[in-house]
Amino acid sequence: MNKLRYQTLLQNSGAECFLSKPYGLELLYVLDKCNSDAADNGIDDTFDLILFNKPRREAFHKFVQLLANKHHLLKLVSGVKASKTVLRMSKEVSKAFKAFKGS
């Protein structure tokens, strides 16, 4: 990981909020992959995809709500199941993360 790219990522307030948790970088990768695959990932699906520094489920739900309240994470209605909420990064966070990855 390039230190300069990481510092640039931290300059984005949304990405900085994600990275405030030990699992934040992995969460960004998970959300990016789900978005590129057009996956129907809900909160619990996303939680299950986190492998390292996994938080407790309730703490994860609270963190997701915090990110959504700050508009860094979008909670969208699923196209498959109307009662399901799909998680996506905000455009600003997504743009900063893509620059971090170098793509």
What is the spatial distance between Cα 19 and Cα 12, in angstroms, rounded to a whole number? Answer: 10
- The pTM score is 0.90
Q: Domain containing 41: what range?
A: 3-101
Query: The domain spanning residue 19 has which CATH number?
Result: 1.10.10.10
| Nearest partner of 38 among 93, 2, 80, 92, judged by Cα | 80
* Number of domain units in the chain: 1
- DSSP state for residue 88 in the 8-state scheme: E
For the stretch 12-58, pLDDT in tens is: 899 999 999 999 999 999 999 999 998 899 999 999 999 999 999 99
